[in-house]
Chains A and B, each alone.
Chain A
């Protein structure tokens, strides 16, 4: 098991609602990346935070937003939820915001949108 934790483990929301997911990075890691994993698919990159700043973003709309705190933990916020947002949301921490660094994944938050 990695030292990356996520909360909650499961969540059920309805269309149009807003959700906040949380992630605590592994000790010593200052970078958190968020991924969305639809059923039967590989994880897709949402965005990355490095030293409290967004360091890169995948092909996701602005209603997906995030924060990173001074202790390097992070939040993913999704507004105006849609049915297609139902997925496993993974966060991964790494030692810095560049390539070549192994990313350690948390167990994920399973979001269901009804």
Chain B
């Protein structure tokens, strides 16, 4: 079945720098990808999604890049702020049932 992995469990950046969080998936048939942010004591919060017919999508200060050739997904956060400190998960659609398969998460810490 599908598995989702993350390259780095923790990431520490300086306030104002750009952050890049990476994710790898195993199933080349996966067609929907989402990034979630989870703050301590809260449920995952949707950040941005991308479908397999795209390779880049931009939101407010965030960009998701999808490389289907190497089955790699990344989240870029521009001008990282202290409020961005959280655990970030990538999730991949599990198929027709609509379930999501999550990676283990990257904990982003922003130093002031």
> Taking beta carbons and an 8 Å cutoff, which residues of A are in contact with B?
2, 4, 31, 33, 35, 40-45, 48, 50, 55-56, 58, 90, 92, 94, 96-108
Whether, in the assembled complex, B111 has its beta carbon less than 8 Å from a beta carbon of chain A, the answer is no
The total of Cβ contacts below 8 Å across the A-B interface reads 82
Q: How far is the CA of A103 from the CA of B36 in the complex (A)?
A: 10
Interface residues in B, total, Cβ within 8 A: 28
- B95 contacts across to A, CB distance below 8 A: 99
* Closest residue on chain A to residue B36 by CB atoms: A105
Task: Return the contact of B102 from the options A4, A43, A56 (Cβ within 8 A).
Answer: A43
Write out, one digit per residue, whether chain B residues 60-72 have a CB within 8 A of any chain A CB (1) or not (0): 0000000000000
Whether, in the assembled complex, B7 has its beta carbon less than 8 Å from a beta carbon of chain A, the answer is no
- B59 contacts across to A, CB distance below 8 A: none
The answer to whether residues A108 and B43 also contact, given A99-B31, A99-B95 and a CB cut-off of 8 A, is yes
